[in-house]
Amino acid sequence: MAIVYIGLGANLGDREANLRTALDHLRESGQVAVLAVSRLVESDAVGGPSQPRFLNGAARLETDLPPHELLRLLKAAEYRAGRRPTGVRWGPREADLDILLYGNRVIDTPDLRVPHPLLRERAFVLGPLSELAGEVHDPVTGKTIRELLLELQRRAWGHRTARLLESRAAMLDYVAMVKRNRFTLGLVPTMGAFHEGHLSLMRAARKACDKVVVSLFVNPTQFGPSEDLDRYPRQLERDLALASETGIDVVFAPPAAEMYPERTVSTWVTVENLSETLCGAARPGHFRGVATVVAKLLNLVRPDVAYFGQKDWQQTVVIRRMVRDLCFPVEVRVEPTAREPDGLALSSRNIYLDAGERKEATRLFRGLGAARDAFLAGERSAAALRAKVLAEIEGGPGVRAEYVEVVDAETLARVEDLSGPAVIAVAARVGRTRLIDNLLLGGAA
Amino acid sequence: MAIVYIGLGANLGDREANLRTALDHLRESGQVAVLAVSRLVESDAVGGPSQPRFLNGAARLETDLPPHELLRLLKAAEYRAGRRPTGVRWGPREADLDILLYGNRVIDTPDLRVPHPLLRERAFVLGPLSELAGEVHDPVTGKTIRELLLELQRRAWGHRTARLLESRAAMLDYVAMVKRNRFTLGLVPTMGAFHEGHLSLMRAARKACDKVVVSLFVNPTQFGPSEDLDRYPRQLERDLALASETGIDVVFAPPAAEMYPERTVSTWVTVENLSETLCGAARPGHFRGVATVVAKLLNLVRPDVAYFGQKDWQQTVVIRRMVRDLCFPVEVRVEPTAREPDGLALSSRNIYLDAGERKEATRLFRGLGAARDAFLAGERSAAALRAKVLAEIEGGPGVRAEYVEVVDAETLARVEDLSGPAVIAVAARVGRTRLIDNLLLGGAA
């Protein structure tokens, strides 16, 4: 008995019915057991004249027939499904049945090559096959079908344009494919307007995960009524190009109605005690909006790892807490803040700054630097460190500190003396633009 | 080239090191490629004298060696790992390497039988093997390794005691096993004190899913300060026995500190607009507690389907809304209310009723029945239907209605005239005991 995998294709007539007829023919021959059939997927025809789209699948057979006799039976099944010789190479057809794998056999004859010579080239073959035989080895390369699919997808997508998905349904389909194939998955949640900070998160994810999804969603529920939701920078084309260069696989950019189909939001995720201080004091409801949309994204994308930037420290603390409290099965990784050469933390909001403001904006980083120098020199009083930062920030025109706080790195509770891991967090207005930055002190991750 | 799966076992010396040595021997022979090794799992020794626990695994090899020559090489590898002939059958050993599968070959000779004759009987063989070869077929039965594992687990657990898991870590391990094997998973969240209502949910899940987890957790965050958290019935032994009879696989019964390790709860899931009416009015915070704990359970157990009873209609509406809004990848199924012969809805709180109260308690069901009769006779006025229910409920001593409402089945908004699917929901005090019931009218599911 041999286990054989065959490919199924059809692009004429009632395609699904034709494939069913062909499989029935195999069953009725008494020579073949049809053990499993994959889902059927659509694909464009490759080569040949212009023709309708194909429906493709794979089936697992068990048979005593030697390969060439099985081939004859497949031809008879194609005939039974309505296919007649046309003389057109790569032409349209009612049914197309190919031997993909025959046990571990390697066969190279004029009329039959097994494994199928295009096996490693065609996603519409490897995708359905991987569903049935993800762990089965291609006897030529020694790789599993799943590994071949991953390689093919990387060749096809990895160095070209990231795929743009705009609906939840398309995202769920993609995730189902990833899970079926047991690929590891990274998620980089963003609001777009990519800068080096975002790109470094994408590169970290690219390095660690089989597949990487970057979500790009300017989430309305985390903006206050008087905030910059409407003028927040949106530049999808440029973002797609930048993200593609990092080699990520998918940009998930749903319209707002896709993420919030109801007029009013009913379900909120709130993280108490961490959401009300620092930025939360000036932006009531902000972290509730962040936690809620991240919960939605985690459930939609189901990543193994999610990546966030250290610049939004309070956000990372809120998300980590939510993930732990609600038992989300995801690892949260926080990557260092990316900075301009003069130290200014990269932010999508930096584009709001005019030339003079841009120059003054470095005061946040310089203030934090002064505090770090003092800390390294032995200063442990939070009040003294705050004073250093404040003096630098408010030492110039047009910059006004909103807060400068020294807090515990996990609980965000104010500390007086720095014993454990702490964060100095800063928010300031530079002109009309609100900027934030922070610095980890004393061994925080 | 053949793909071969071997079993690995050891229960003497440094077990992991021995197995590594044996695999190195295979590699260094130049005759075998070791393509993959499963995780190693612990198991009790089966048969033979009393002896230490085994460490077991599986490996995927590629080789040109014929089966008997491979067998000789495995023996040499066992020797290299320290094993010496003892003459003791089923005795302890430094290393044990067995051919489990050799391509699709079936071999039956005195010194070698392939597939391994105990393959289908041993979870400690099938478990690791399924990780590497879940989709590979056993050439004797034609079933996949995954199917064999599922069958074995059903034989072993299905009609015996459900496994009791009490920690999140154990639950996560179990779920990882389920996901690795692509079993479908059902979750029945409960607070224990099982009655026929719970058991009917378990049977529905047993019918539809490969694996079923019943969570049993008296969730403190959904009880108000003056409610019956302390006297809520707890009877784990009895519950385990009842649940086992339905054939479910796992009872997950964590202590409170396992679900809420922090002193105060930080992260809440709230479902606005649905949580404040009906029972929510009398039990502020109740549905916030329910939504939060169900979110945790969904993330821990990651079921494909979650089962709830119709008796707690408002709860099912809140959960459905949360699942939709936060995009939880789970299907919510609601099963009909189970009732006593006289119509009283089954509830764990019915045990609080004394004999007289028990008799009066049927007034809720009789009131709803009167409303249904009027509805079927053409009555469409919500006020008229409410009056029917109220007259019946308050027609006897010791029963006091808390609310009787006719609401939209999805939005829970009050309706005046019944055009679409609606629910009549009732809460009443019978003595000190609070009971609820409801009735769907006009084609609600």
Query: pLDDT per residue over B338-351, tens digit each?
Result: 999 999 999 999 99
Q: Which residues of A are less than 8 Å from B302 in CB distance?
A: 329
Give the CATH number of the domain where residue B139 resides.
3.30.70.560
What is the predicted pLDDT for the residue at B193?
93
> Which tokens go with A314?
């309070």
Banded model confidence at residue B362, pLDDT cuts 50, 70, 90 = very high
Q: Do A317 and A364 share a domain, yes or no? A: no
Range A334-353 average pLDDT = 95
Q: Do B229 and B215 share a domain, yes or no? A: yes
Q: Which residues of B are less than 8 Å from A62 in CB distance?
A: 137, 142
Residue B445, pLDDT above cutoff 80: no
Does residue A228 fall inside a structural domain?
yes
Asked if B322 has any chain A CB less than 8 Å from its own CB, the reply is yes
- Say whether A299 and B270 touch across the interface (CB within 8 A): no
3-state secondary structure of A381: strand
Distance from CA of A371 to the nearest CA of B (A): 31
Q: Which of B1, B292, B300 sits opposite A104 (nearest CB)?
A: B1
Specify the number of domains making up chain A.
3
Give the pLDDT confidence of A265-276 residue by residue, as tens digits.
899 999 999 999
Q: Do B125 and B220 share a domain, yes or no? A: no
Does residue B303 fall inside a structural domain?
yes
Q: Do A187 and A61 share a domain, yes or no? A: no
B171 to chain A: closest CA residue: A327
Q: Is A373 exposed, middle or buried (0-12, 13-18, 19+ CB in 10 A)?
A: exposed
More confident residue, A159 or B333: B333
Tell how strand B107-109 and strand B96-102 pair up: unpaired
- Say whether B325 and A262 touch across the interface (CB within 8 A): yes
Query: Is residue B102 within 8 Å of residue B70, measured between CB atoms?
Result: yes
Cα–Cα distance, B221 to B284 (Å, whole number): 11
What is the predicted pLDDT for the residue at A95?
95
Give the CATH number of the domain where residue A306 resides.
3.40.50.620
Q: Please give the torsion angle defined by the CA atoms of residues A183, A188, A189 and A191, in that order, rounded to the nearest 10 degrees.
A: -130
Asked if A292 has any chain B CB less than 8 Å from its own CB, the reply is yes
Neighbours of A23 (CB within 10 A): 22
Ramachandran assignment for A119, one of left (phi > 0), alpha (psi -120 to 50 degrees), beta (any other): alpha
Q: Which residues of B are less than 8 Å from A410 in CB distance?
A: none
Q: Do A35 and A152 share a domain, yes or no? A: yes
- Say whether B270 and A268 touch across the interface (CB within 8 A): yes
Q: Which of A132, A265, A295 sits opposite B135 (nearest CB)?
A: A132
- Say whether A133 and B135 touch across the interface (CB within 8 A): yes
Cα–Cα distance, A284 to A201 (Å, whole number): 27
Q: Which residues of B are less than 8 Å from A269 in CB distance?
A: 267-269, 326
Residues of B with a known catalytic role: 198
Q: Count CB pairs under 8 A between chains A and B.
A: 112
When the pLDDT of each residue in chain A is averaged and rounded to a whole number, the result is 92
Give the pLDDT confidence of A55-104 residue by residue, as tens digits.
999 999 999 999 999 999 999 999 999 999 887 778 889 999 999 999 98
Does residue B340 fall inside a structural domain?
no
Query: Is residue B180 within 8 Å of residue B207, measured between CB atoms?
Result: no
Does residue A343 fall inside a structural domain?
no
Residue A445, pLDDT above cutoff 60: no
Q: Do B66 and B104 share a domain, yes or no? A: yes
Q: Tell me which range, A176-180, A395-399, B123-127, B200-204, is most confidently predicted by mean pLDDT.
A: B200-204
Give the pLDDT confidence of B157-187 residue by residue, as tens digits.
555 678 999 999 999 999 998 988 889 999 9
Q: Do B51 and B123 share a domain, yes or no? A: yes
Range B392-419 average pLDDT = 93
What is the predicted pLDDT for the residue at A160?
66
Does residue B28 fall inside a structural domain?
yes
Asked if B265 has any chain A CB less than 8 Å from its own CB, the reply is yes
Query: Per 3-state DSSP, what percentage of chain A is helix, strand, and coil (rounded to 5)?
Result: 40, 25, 40
Contacting A residues, span 179-208, partner chain B, CB-CB under 8 Å: none
For the question of residue A198 being annotated catalytic, the response is: yes
Does residue B343 fall inside a structural domain?
no
Percent of chain A with pLDDT over 70: 98
- Say whether A327 and B132 touch across the interface (CB within 8 A): no
Give the pLDDT confidence of B112-126 residue by residue, as tens digits.
999 998 888 888 899
- Say whether A327 and B274 touch across the interface (CB within 8 A): no
Query: In the 8-state DSSP scheme, what is residue B158?
Result: I
What is the predicted pLDDT for the residue at B407?
96
- Say whether B274 and A268 touch across the interface (CB within 8 A): no
- Say whether A326 and B295 touch across the interface (CB within 8 A): yes
Asked if B35 has any chain A CB less than 8 Å from its own CB, the reply is yes
Chain CA centroid to CA B388, Å: 41
> Which tokens go with A75?
């031809």
Q: Which residues of B are less than 8 Å from A1 in CB distance?
A: 104, 139
Residue A154, pLDDT above cutoff 80: no
Banded model confidence at residue B415, pLDDT cuts 50, 70, 90 = very high
- Say whether B132 and A135 touch across the interface (CB within 8 A): yes
Asked if A331 has any chain B CB less than 8 Å from its own CB, the reply is no
| Selected residue of B107, B321, B327 to mutate for chain A interface (largest A Cβ count, 10 A) | B327
Cα–Cα distance, A117 to A373 (Å, whole number): 64
Asked if B295 has any chain A CB less than 8 Å from its own CB, the reply is yes
Does residue A341 fall inside a structural domain?
no
Does residue A368 fall inside a structural domain?
yes
Give the CATH number of the domain where residue B370 resides.
3.30.1300.10
Q: Which residues of A are less than 8 Å from B273 in CB distance?
A: 264, 266
What is the predicted pLDDT for the residue at A156?
66
Q: Do B320 and B398 share a domain, yes or no? A: no
Asked if A169 has any chain B CB less than 8 Å from its own CB, the reply is no
Range A376-393 average pLDDT = 95
Asked if A306 has any chain B CB less than 8 Å from its own CB, the reply is no
Distance from CA of A168 to the nearest CA of B (A): 9
Taking each helix axis from N to C terminus, what angle separates A196-208 and A236-245, rounded to the nearest 10 degrees?
Answer: 40
Percent of chain A with pLDDT over 90: 74
What is the predicted pLDDT for the residue at A444?
44
Distance from CA of B264 to the nearest CA of A (A): 10
Give the pLDDT confidence of B35-80 residue by residue, as tens digits.
889 888 888 888 778 888 999 999 999 999 999 999 999 999 999 9
Of the candidates A279, A307, A335, which is a domain's last residue?
A335
- Say whether B327 and A134 touch across the interface (CB within 8 A): no
Q: Do A238 and A285 share a domain, yes or no? A: yes
Task: Give the global pTM.
Answer: 0.78
What is the predicted pLDDT for the residue at A182?
83
Neighbours of B378 (CB within 10 A): 6
Which neighbouring-strand residues pair with B423? B407, B440
Domain boundaries, position B124: 2-155
Contacting B residues, span 106-135, partner chain A, CB-CB under 8 Å: 132-135
- Residue B120's Cβ-side half-sphere holds a number of Cα atoms within 13 Å equal to 15
What is the predicted pLDDT for the residue at B135?
83
Range B418-432 average pLDDT = 93
> In the block, which residue shows the tokens 């994204």?
A297
Q: Do A133 and A212 share a domain, yes or no? A: no
| Complex-level ipTM beyond the 0.85 threshold | no
- Say whether B299 and A326 touch across the interface (CB within 8 A): yes
Of the candidates A156, A186, A221, which is a domain's last residue?
A156
Cα–Cα distance, A145 to A147 (Å, whole number): 5
Distance from CA of B419 to the nearest CA of A (A): 23
Terminal alpha carbon distance of chain B: 57
Of the candidates A285, A309, A335, which is a domain's last residue?
A335
| Selected residue of A266, A294, A298, A324 to mutate for chain B interface (largest B Cβ count, 10 A) | A266
Q: Do B210 and B243 share a domain, yes or no? A: yes
3-state secondary structure of B161: coil
Give Cβ neighbours of residue B44 (< 8 Å, ≥ 6 apart).
B53, B54
Q: Do A212 and A132 share a domain, yes or no? A: no
Cα–Cα distance, B391 to A175 (Å, whole number): 54
Cα–Cα distance, A56 to A100 (Å, whole number): 13
Q: Which of B132, B269, B274 sits opposite A269 (nearest CB)?
A: B269
Q: Which residues of B are less than 8 Å from A142 in CB distance?
A: 1, 33, 35, 62
Neighbours of B395 (CB within 10 A): 12
What is the predicted pLDDT for the residue at B443?
64
